[in-house]
Structure 1
Amino acid sequence: MSSNNSNRSNLSSPNYGHDFVVSTTPTAINKGLWQYLSSSKEQPVTQLCFLVNRETGYPSEYISVEDLMEKTGNVNPFDIKPGTNYNDPRIAALTAALFSTGIQLKMGPPPGVSSHNLPGIVSLAKGTKAVEFNMYFSEITVVQNNPPSGWGGTGHWNVWAQPSGQPWYLTTIVDVLISDIDKQLSSTYFQQHPDEKAALISRLSGLESTGTAFSLQQLLFDLDNAALQGEVRFEGIPDGNPARSLVEEATLKLYTSYAKEQGKPLLALVALPHVEDESQLKLTGIERQVSFLKDSTGQELKDPTPEQLAVTTLDYLCATDGHPLPGARTFGWNWVMPEEVNHESGVIAINRNTLGNFIMNELMPSCQASCIIASPTVKTGPSGEV
């Protein structure tokens, strides 16, 4: 833990009592998620088109760009540049086909900006069961056809695109789930990340070689049920414009589809022994909580800066050898300080009593075997001398 932190950890205090705690920062979690987003296989550019429903006047009918081009004599709306005169025959053909809005996008890190200068993909501000999840795109363009109104308004062809260095993104709330996985790690995620799979299988083979029976559980983000939050960054598309709501809905669904193809982002993988654990610290209970940065008095900061939020920690609270699990507690110290976030991913802290008992049990047999038991005897001579 931080050498600069005046409040050192004290798990042996009656207020806590956990046998050990493993804490990690969202900075470390996000580093892995950016790698997930960057290293996944090259994604194709997806194009979605929406036609106006004649009864409602709303662009609610989805059509592929290929089907639209068959209706319009091979006119692709994404080829029409901003500033094109509305009398262009291509626009006329699209209007005749009831074309309203088109969305062209590609998943991935946004261009022209470092991940260090962006809000993290995930934020722990909501807790451990649900987190904030930002959805980013490497490319996104929206085109909109606004025909002249019946009141004499002129028609407009609008084009909005994500500019380099100014990323568009959605903020959603995502559940964190625990699910089972087989020992061969035959999930979509590990199929798309063979290096991680090979490394984990190697370690699991070592566990199997000891004769230990175990099952695997994974902790992952459930993007299937992501709920859109109020913060949506699509600068340029006016609030209330039908194109904006279409973009929000479509990108949310496409991101979910992307996660299914690539495998839902993985947070942790845990091996659960089915027979007696032979390790020195036998894990028998675990719980999760989130800890926020605290001031010198141990109170959580009311208005933390982004730098201070970056050292919020996801804590695994652990019990060993059948000890009761104290449950969630607000620690009176910080696990990682802001100045350490770039070179410390987290902390493992062991209760001094747990560590002391472990050392005592390891030393006791050797100490007992090395003890000398004295059996003094006294003899006297004929004259009574000793």
Structure 2
Amino acid sequence: MSAIQSNLSASQYGYDMVVGVTQASINATMKSFLDKYKGHEFVMCYVYQTDPTTNKGSWVSKPFEDIKQEIGGDPFSIPDGAPSDNALLQKLYQMKFGFAFRASIGLPTEFPLDKIPNVIVLDKGNSLVTYNLVCKNFEVLNLTNNFGDITWSNISQSSQSEPWVFSFNVNLDLRSSDSAFAYLPKSVQDKVKNLSPGSMFSVQQLYLDLNTAGLDSAPSISGLDPTSDAYIFLTRTFINSYFKDLQKNNQSGDNPDGNFLLGYSIKPSKPGPTPSIVPTDLNFLVSPYLDSSGNPTKDYDMYTLNYLIMADDHHMPAAVPFGWNWVEKANEANFNGVMAIKKAAFVDYLNKLFSPQLNSVSFSTSCSIDCVNPVKMRYNIGMQAATGALKYQVVNDGSSKVLTYSYTKSSNASKDFCWGNWGNITFKYTVDSEVHLTGNTIQVITTTTAWMHVNVDGGVAEGNFVKYKSTVDYQLGVDAYGQLKVTLVGGKPNVKDESDDINPGVWGTIVTAGTYKGFIKEIKGYLTVIETFLSNYNNQILAMLNGSHVWVFPGGKTFVFKNVQFSNNQDLVADVTYAEPTAERLNKTMTAASMKKEEAELQLH
């Protein structure tokens, strides 16, 4: 039930690329960057005002700095349960102060990790996820006036036994007309999709994706009456106000592109290469962890959030659960997820890479025959490089073969010689090549054949004067940034000489006075150059695979790549690990993430 079964070409899927990362790894990475994030502090204060036109009163926000200036102090310094004669409290009462919130996003340090819930829980179905927002610091002020009886509350998350959690129910189906995404402005939709291959898989980008829905369940805040205006405003307006404030500060501060959330990025220690597949559309899907019978389990940490990706403006199919696990439980400590490229996408890349090299082994032919005297024949054969665009053909026969090429050119000549002699000659040149994908190997099998028929006065010599078959195994590896590294198995191509032993026969020897064998030897010697052409072809392929056109997976700024191989259905599959380094206090409990600190550095704005 593993990624070796990946079959994105199946009719129910059809995605050009899929990235599947486990719930455990997402949360380990998300908690890691939240633990280190030093975010913008957010404060909202509300006072009661009466509209002079309508004579109706309502709670309106008032700048925190204005309130501090008017009362000559900080309302958050007033202790919980302060008496009504407290000087600052009396000033708040006079300005009709009601309540205030102060918070900053991050991971609270006062609680053990087992008290902090997963940020993301993949427990809702195909496209629904639970998103839990926890703040590093959270304080709530509430002034209650009951007919002149003033009650003051100053409560904070840090003094509680458990952190305050805001839970969201998020529909990540970006194609659905009834998801929150459909109601976002176009500019925000573009930020949520963020099809930049370098950052679209990053945890901060996912954090943005997850902040596109309303609050699903209200938090339980100890000490705050759930029927109070403070609680109602907290659950209805706090989240929206917070992220609007973040957006405003990002646009005017260090992150002027307005990329909503945290001003946080992962920066590789060296720039990554341009990816070979550029996403043009994105959707999400949650896949359950399946048992050996293919039935969903409740092992949510092994569920995967899947990025469904299309390239070249291909149409995005419907989101359909996969029939295999992207990550097996036995491997959860080794990598966080899988990136799979559809067979057709990678085969198209190989076709574009390999086909131009076919001109180096494809030739047209020419030949002529004559005689010098009754027993000496004169011949001429020629090979000219083929012109025009030559191309492999794609194969989809269920086998490991994905590309095939067949080429044939022939020429012939005949002549009546002097002294009543005669002769004819045919020269046929063929190339057959196949490309197979299996395991972690690209295998190229190429056969070049020079077949000739020579007849002098009825003395015939024919067959494969030369025939070379090369089998070359290019073994795939991948570096940390998603760039394929290819080595030649055995260090050189395996070339077999399958040429025929050409025998002119007794009559051919007689009519040419024994010169026929020398003629044959001379032709075979000339045609051995084909082996050189074949070797050059194989070396050109290796150079192309490792050169400027090398295949590069997207996501090199977010993931560390390893263990590339082909699935049973020839999808190109690589294991990925988040490049985000784990925070020190998370190291002991989040080994599933297996993050490499040397692969990335933090850049906090």
Q: TM bucket by the smaller chain?
A: 0.5 to 0.7
Bigger shift: 240-249 or 155-164? 155-164
Bigger shift: 45-54 or 340-349? 340-349
Following superposition, the deviation at residue 101 of structure 1 comes to 0.7
The residue number in structure 2 matching 1:90 is 88
| Partner SS state of residue 83, structure 2 | coil
Following superposition, the deviation at residue 244 of structure 1 comes to 0.7
* Partner residue of 1:332 out of 323, 326, 339: 323
Q: Does 1:243 align with 2:263?
A: no
Q: Higher relative contact order at CA 8 Å, sep ≥6: structure 1 or structure 2?
A: 1
Is 2:18–2:306's contact at 8 Å kept on the other side of the alignment?
yes
* Partner residue of 1:120 out of 118, 121, 136: 118
Following superposition, the deviation at residue 245 of structure 1 comes to 1.8
For residues 10 and 41 of structure 2, the distance between their equivalents in structure 1, rounded to whole angstroms, comes to: 57
For residues 92 and 315 of structure 2, the distance between their equivalents in structure 1, rounded to whole angstroms, comes to: 68
Is 1:111–1:167's contact at 8 Å kept on the other side of the alignment?
no
For residues 148 and 94 of structure 1, the distance between their equivalents in structure 2, rounded to whole angstroms, comes to: 15
The residue number in structure 1 matching 2:445 is 364
The residue number in structure 1 matching 2:304 is 313
| Partner SS state of residue 374, structure 1 | coil
For residues 168 and 323 of structure 1, the distance between their equivalents in structure 2, rounded to whole angstroms, comes to: 43
| Partner SS state of residue 109, structure 2 | coil
* Partner residue of 1:157 out of 152, 155, 161: 152
* Partner residue of 1:379 out of 502, 505, 508: 505
Amino acid at match of 2:78: I
TM-score, reference length from structure 2: 0.45
| Partner SS state of residue 112, structure 1 | coil
Relative to structure 1, the CA distance from residue 123 to residue 268 in structure 2 (aligned partners, 3 Å threshold; closer, same or farther) is farther
Following superposition, the deviation at residue 96 of structure 1 comes to 1.1
- Which consecutive unaligned segments of at least 5 residues does structure 2 have? 171-180, 182-188, 344-397, 403-434, 448-467, 471-494, 510-605
The residue number in structure 2 matching 1:203 is none
The residue number in structure 2 matching 1:49 is 45
The residue number in structure 2 matching 1:37 is 34
For residues 354 and 144 of structure 1, the distance between their equivalents in structure 2, rounded to whole angstroms, comes to: 70
Following superposition, the deviation at residue 23 of structure 1 comes to 1.9
The residue number in structure 2 matching 1:178 is 193
Q: CA RMSD in A?
A: 4.7
The residue number in structure 2 matching 1:99 is 97
Determine which structure has more spread, i.e. the larger CA radius of gyration. Answer: 2
How big is each residue's C-alpha offset from its partner over 1:343-367, in whole Å with a ceiling of 9 and x where there is no partner?
4301346789686535367412377
Q: Does 1:294 align with 2:290?
A: yes
For residues 15 and 224 of structure 1, the distance between their equivalents in structure 2, rounded to whole angstroms, comes to: 33
Following superposition, the deviation at residue 93 of structure 1 comes to 2.0
For residues 285 and 7 of structure 2, the distance between their equivalents in structure 1, rounded to whole angstroms, comes to: 15
Is 1:223–1:264's contact at 8 Å kept on the other side of the alignment?
no
Amino acid at match of 1:314: L
The residue number in structure 2 matching 1:213 is none
The residue number in structure 2 matching 1:68 is 67
Following superposition, the deviation at residue 135 of structure 1 comes to 2.1
Following superposition, the deviation at residue 255 of structure 1 comes to 3.7
For residues 237 and 158 of structure 1, the distance between their equivalents in structure 2, rounded to whole angstroms, comes to: 8
How big is each residue's C-alpha offset from its partner over 1:136-171, in whole Å with a ceiling of 9 and x where there is no partner?
211111111112327xxx431122210355111212
For residues 8 and 180 of structure 1, the distance between their equivalents in structure 2, rounded to whole angstroms, comes to: 27
Amino acid at match of 1:238: D
Is 2:40–2:246's contact at 8 Å kept on the other side of the alignment?
no
The residue number in structure 2 matching 1:346 is 337
The residue number in structure 1 matching 2:107 is 109
Is 1:47–1:65's contact at 8 Å kept on the other side of the alignment?
yes
For residues 94 and 312 of structure 2, the distance between their equivalents in structure 1, rounded to whole angstroms, comes to: 73
For residues 85 and 314 of structure 2, the distance between their equivalents in structure 1, rounded to whole angstroms, comes to: 77
Relative to structure 1, the CA distance from residue 178 to residue 355 in structure 2 (aligned partners, 3 Å threshold; closer, same or farther) is farther
Is 1:30–1:122's contact at 8 Å kept on the other side of the alignment?
yes
| Partner SS state of residue 163, structure 1 | helix
* Partner residue of 1:257 out of 231, 237, 245: 245
| Partner SS state of residue 364, structure 1 | strand
For residues 9 and 256 of structure 1, the distance between their equivalents in structure 2, rounded to whole angstroms, comes to: 44
Relative to structure 1, the CA distance from residue 267 to residue 233 in structure 2 (aligned partners, 3 Å threshold; closer, same or farther) is farther
Is 1:220–1:267's contact at 8 Å kept on the other side of the alignment?
no
Relative to structure 1, the CA distance from residue 223 to residue 316 in structure 2 (aligned partners, 3 Å threshold; closer, same or farther) is closer
* Partner residue of 1:166 out of 162, 179, 200: 162
- Number of aligned residue pairs: 333
For residues 286 and 103 of structure 2, the distance between their equivalents in structure 1, rounded to whole angstroms, comes to: 34
How big is each residue's C-alpha offset from its partner over 1:198-255, in whole Å with a ceiling of 9 and x where there is no partner?
xxxxxxxxxxxxxxxxxxxx87724774412124243332222111122221244214
Amino acid at match of 2:305: L
For residues 267 and 329 of structure 1, the distance between their equivalents in structure 2, rounded to whole angstroms, comes to: 31
Amino acid at match of 1:123: V
Is 1:290–1:314's contact at 8 Å kept on the other side of the alignment?
yes
Is 2:35–2:108's contact at 8 Å kept on the other side of the alignment?
no
The residue number in structure 2 matching 1:229 is 216
Q: Does 1:23 align with 2:38?
A: no
Following superposition, the deviation at residue 131 of structure 1 comes to 4.4
Is 1:219–1:267's contact at 8 Å kept on the other side of the alignment?
no
How big is each residue's C-alpha offset from its partner over 1:292-344, in whole Å with a ceiling of 9 and x where there is no partner?
1223431224xx3xxx1121112345789999998644333323345654443
Bigger shift: 111-120 or 242-251? 111-120
For residues 83 and 7 of structure 2, the distance between their equivalents in structure 1, rounded to whole angstroms, comes to: 70
Amino acid at match of 2:47: L
For residues 115 and 291 of structure 1, the distance between their equivalents in structure 2, rounded to whole angstroms, comes to: 26
For residues 363 and 326 of structure 1, the distance between their equivalents in structure 2, rounded to whole angstroms, comes to: 33
Relative to structure 1, the CA distance from residue 181 to residue 13 in structure 2 (aligned partners, 3 Å threshold; closer, same or farther) is closer
For residues 76 and 364 of structure 1, the distance between their equivalents in structure 2, rounded to whole angstroms, comes to: 79
Following superposition, the deviation at residue 89 of structure 1 comes to 3.2
Identity %: 21
Bigger shift: 95-104 or 310-319? 310-319
For residues 85 and 294 of structure 1, the distance between their equivalents in structure 2, rounded to whole angstroms, comes to: 59
For residues 48 and 286 of structure 1, the distance between their equivalents in structure 2, rounded to whole angstroms, comes to: 36
User: Which protein has the bigger strand share?
Assistant: 2
Amino acid at match of 1:31: A
